[in-house]
Amino acid sequence: MAALVAPAVRPRTAGRAFLLGLVAGLVYFAGTVYWTSGVMARYGGLAMPVAVAIAGLLVAYLALFPALFALGTHLLVARGGAAWIWLAPVVWTASEYGRLRLFGGFPWVLLGYSQVEVLPIAQLASVTGVFGLSLLLATTATALVWPFVARGRSRWVAPAGVAAVVAVIAVWGMARIGDGRLTREGRPLQVGIVQGNVPQDQKWDPEHAGAIFARYLRLTREVMTQGADLVLWPESSTPFSYGRSAETAQLQVLAREHGVPILLGSDYWERDGDAVRVYNAAFLLGPDGQTRGLYRKVRLVPFGEYVPLRSLLFFARPLVQAVSDFSPGTEVNTLPLDGAAVSTAICYEVVYPALIREGVLNGSELLTTITNDAWFGRSSAPWQHFAMASMRAIEQGRYLVRSANTGISGAVDPYGRVLLASELFTTGAWVVPVRLLDGMTVYARVGDVAGWGSSLLTALALGLVARRSAARG
């Protein structure tokens, strides 16, 4: 980060600052979302050169945000003076928040996620969310650059102050984890996690449907006999559409026989006049085998569940034809569980902090997320996805349980400690103890103040220096 702050300040022209930021963004995102080309080539039916080109467009779009950060920081320092470099962390956080909000958003691998395993520092997310962590890291990077920008002995005062703030946060974070009250409060619950490990090219093959369903039933019985109070299946786990096939009745019988609810992912078909809408959905079967709740996925995956700008992507016709055209849900609702409420995020939704917060505000006492990461293969994407999901547990002060078709399935406690993380591409079922919690973190109460506040402050600062510059001219 410091390597990006410094070049943003040094160039003599705004254009060069923008270019340096763009190059940094291209390198960063090419190294983190490289897996998108393989997904589109293998499962979207595209020739590899076309898939690489589309992935390149995504990387180029994402790289615009670091470029805008570099441009904004350069303008502030060039027109306001060296001290304005201390607004660089605010500009950076605003750029990340913009990446979340604009054009549906793609808030993948934000800077703050780098701290998800640095648990004392990561506790700050319970107050500020992941954007507050990004702000802290950007401030630390700015402190490293400041001595090379300022003059005199006083140039070391600000970095020392930032170091002291980081130390205080770390001490507070360790104390919060050590207190551990969230692991003692609330009602205990045993959650069974099922990982079917079904290859993507077999999921909807009728020849494999019977074996897939039998595997899920077997694994579910295993965790039920081990004392599970709730069983979690992955996204789109049923090789049939729930409620539209004979297999649905078998699943309902299983829940009724053991008296254990099952939360599973499947397609949901809904008639709207003459039209039929298809949703990527989650269903909660009660212990009586009846459907107790339904959640329709709100945030769809671009190029996975819908294709943005279809008319412009004529060269990607195989992808357009291969992608399921799902309809988005309209609200984040909770699912009833024996006098409590749980929420679920389907796949990509878990990277949207506000979406998970909305579930908690609606009364969710347990975070669940169901996903199918088979698309990603053995790339770094499943690990990135799991890390981002873990941050949601810290932000909301909730246990989070995750079921993934091919892994990583697992559970995280309210402090971000990983209780279980399965191996990729293994078949298994586990029972993990969690607790139903109803307290509210500061972040749950106030939301993304760090994100929208940084955006507002950036706009005001740029407006001020532009006004000053105009007055001088």
Question: Catalytic residue numbers?
Answer: 235, 297, 347
**CA dihedral (40, 46, 47, 51) positive or negative:** negative
Question: SS3 for 434-470, per residue?
Answer: EEECCCCCHHHHHCCHHHHHHHHHHHHHHHHHHHHHH
Distance, in Å, from the CA atom of 107 to the CA atom of 54, rounded to the nearest integer, reads 18
Paired strand residues for 341 = 336
b/e for 27-64, b at 16 or more Cβ within 10 A?
ebbbeebebbbbbbbebbbbeeebbbebbeebbeebbb
The single residue listed with the structure tokens 């360790």 is 174
The single residue listed with the structure tokens 């090419």 is 30
Terminal-to-terminal C-alpha distance of the chain:
34
| Number of C-beta neighbours around residue 23 at 10 A | 16
Paired strand residues for 291 = 285
Distance, in Å, from the CA atom of 451 to the CA atom of 101, rounded to the nearest integer, reads 10
Q: Token digits for 1? A: 């980060």
Distance, in Å, from the CA atom of 222 to the CA atom of 118, rounded to the nearest integer, reads 35
Q: Token digits for 127? A: 């107050």
3-state SS of the chain: helix, strand, coil percent to 5? 55, 15, 30
Q: CA 46, 48, 49: angle at the middle one, nearest 5?
A: 105
Distant-in-sequence, close-in-space partners of 230: CB < 8 Å, separation ≥ 6: 189, 190, 191, 192, 260, 261, 262, 263, 337, 342
Q: Are 430 and 112 in contact (CB under 8 A)?
A: no
Helix (H, G, I), strand (E, B) or coil at 371: strand
**CA dihedral (115, 191, 333, 106) positive or negative:** positive
Residue type, 446: V
Residue type, 101: R
Q: If we measure between CA atoms, which residue out of 73, 109, 145, 96 comes closest to residue 453?
A: 96
DSSP 8-state code for residue 306: B
**CA dihedral (108, 111, 115, 120) positive or negative:** negative
DSSP 8-state code for residue 190: E
